[in-house]
Amino acid sequence: MSLLLDTVSYNYPGSTHGLHEVSLDVRTGELVAVIGPSGSGKSTLLKLVSGLETGHTGRIALDGEDMSRTPVHRRHIGMVFQSYALFPHLSVLDNVAYGLKLRKVATAERRQRAQVLLDTVGLGEYARRAVAQLSGGQQQRVALARALAIDPRALLLDEPLSALDAGVRGHLRDQIRAIQQRFGATTLLVTHDQEEALAMADRVAMLKDGRLLQIATPREIYEEPASRAVAEFVGLSTILPAKVADLNKLDLGFAQLAAPTGMRAPGTALHVLVRPEHIAADPAPGTPNRIAGRCGAQRYLGSLTRYDFEVPGAPRPFLAESARPATEAIAIAPEHLRLLDH
């Protein structure tokens, strides 16, 4: 089952907010994470795909079949919400079997299928319990089992981990991903947590102001962000204004650096992006792109220290990470300077 959004636009009545010409696909068995700041359109996108919101232009299709006029219950999509949305008066097993009951699957069969699903999410022994007796992480696994029980054409996960404690979150993230892969479920995950998106997804789609800025693998979106907005949202970085001085030479005002400038003409204004792990501490004199300065604020992270490296004349410090912070100079290899065109 594949999911396709083709130039989908939607405006909330009487407003200019919503989604603007969003095109993306989720291939069979793929997990695409949708990220973006608050108000970027993530929930709107999920509501349109599920059918909870209607009236968009463009096409939303499952396996080539246009769903735009299909009501929610006929789309056959499994949904998991941040708030679990389980039925408190039903047992764990009956929660999982609920969708099958609606689809008129016979009692014995739906109980058996629900039990198999509960075993899969590691909650087989909890079938007879009341959902209120389960922890948040367990309830979310019940919600996942319930969504998968109907053998959905696509799975929508709406901030499924954000109501949970940090410790539970990391573990459940791995579990959800493993189960999603085992079922080969075509999945759209919405999250405001870019780290969660990078860790779980096959591809990441970044929205801002209702527009899709980039869709790419986690590695590509981190290492080759298409724009400054993507670079700022995904991962830590230092972003500085610069000008092309000459072929493979950048002028940052406070320093001249070697960088692959490609076809850009001298004088072109742009921004340059540096990731913290690409900043070398105290390089030998004569190392290319060596910049002298001093260490500012430090945050001890165990195996690494994250620190600000202050350079006279620079508009902001470089954010760096290394085993030991730099004391007098840093260096950035030319290939690790990523140029962001305006």
Contacts with ligand ADP by CB under 6 A lie at 12, 15, 17-18, 36, 38-44
Contact 21, 9 (CB under 8 A): yes
In the complex, least distance from residue 32 CB atom to ligand ADP, rounded to whole angstroms: 15
Which residue's CB is nearer to ligand ADP, number 47 or number 278? 47
**Residue 322 phi/psi, 5° resolution?**
-160, 170
Which residue's CB is nearer to ligand ADP, number 11 or number 268? 11
State how far Cα 87 lies from the chain centre.
Answer: 29
Contact 200, 177 (CB under 8 A): yes
Report residue 209 as tokens.
């102001």
Which residue's CB is nearer to ligand ADP, number 44 or number 180? 44
Bridge-based pairing of strands 187-190 and 154-158 is: parallel
In the complex, least distance from residue 221 CB atom to ligand ADP, rounded to whole angstroms: 17
Closest CA to 254 of 309, 197, 183, 191: 309
In the complex, least distance from residue 13 CB atom to ligand ADP, rounded to whole angstroms: 7
Which residue's CB is nearer to ligand ADP, number 19 or number 185? 19
Measure CA of the first residue to CA of the last residue in the chain; give whole Å. 38
Distance CA 212, CA 268 (A): 26
**Residue 243 phi/psi, 5° resolution?**
-135, 145
Distance CA 67, CA 51 (A): 8
CA atoms within 13 A on the CB side of 97: 21
In the complex, least distance from residue 146 CB atom to ligand ADP, rounded to whole angstroms: 23
* Bridge partners of residue 60, in order along the sequence: 5
Report residue 170 as tokens.
């990391």
In the complex, least distance from residue 57 CB atom to ligand ADP, rounded to whole angstroms: 16
Which residue's CB is nearer to ligand ADP, number 43 or number 217? 43
- What string of H, E and C letters represents the secondary structure of 27-88? CCCCEEEEECCCCCCHHHHHHHHHCCCCCCEEEEEECCEECCCCCHHHHCEEEEECCCCCCC
In the complex, least distance from residue 210 CB atom to ligand ADP, rounded to whole angstroms: 6
Which residue's CB is nearer to ligand ADP, number 24 or number 311? 24
In the complex, least distance from residue 113 CB atom to ligand ADP, rounded to whole angstroms: 33
Residue type, 176: I
In the complex, least distance from residue 20 CB atom to ligand ADP, rounded to whole angstroms: 10
Which residue's CB is nearer to ligand ADP, number 18 or number 225? 18
Bridge-based pairing of strands 203-208 and 31-35 is: parallel
Which run of H or E residues covers position 328?
A: none
Which residue's CB is nearer to ligand ADP, number 43 or number 175? 43
